[in-house]
Amino acid sequence: MRAYLIAPVDRAIIEVDYDGVYTNIYGFIKADTFDIATFNEQLDAVFVDDMGLFKEDQSYFTIKGYAQPLAGRGLVLGVGPEGESTPPTVDMLWLQHNVRFQEI
């Protein structure tokens, strides 16, 4: 399924293909554990490194609808009625206008 990878080091948002296997999220975000930040009235979520705030030389981004900066890479997916991953409801244009890369 379609997903979006937010790569703050590169200041890029890239469309990627996600196969629905949750363990593959780790590879996209380059982490051992992940946390989920919902936005867009909880229709979409960004998966981020759960330990990202504790890593040195980290890059950050913000996304409209979530109040706190997020650390490291993020994978944007939709959230289905049972909590399952779905293609995001937002598109690349929305992300380009609503994701900000941060220097902290």
What is the pTM for the complete model shown?
A: 0.94
pLDDT at residue 57 in the model? 83
In tens, the pLDDT along 73-86 reads 999 999 999 989 99
Say what the alpha-carbon torsion angle 54, 59, 18, 47 is, to the nearest 10 degrees.
Answer: 50
CA gap 66, 18 in Å, rounded: 23
Average pLDDT estimate for 52-67:
92
Counted domains in the chain: 1
Domain residues for the domain of 26 are: 2-102
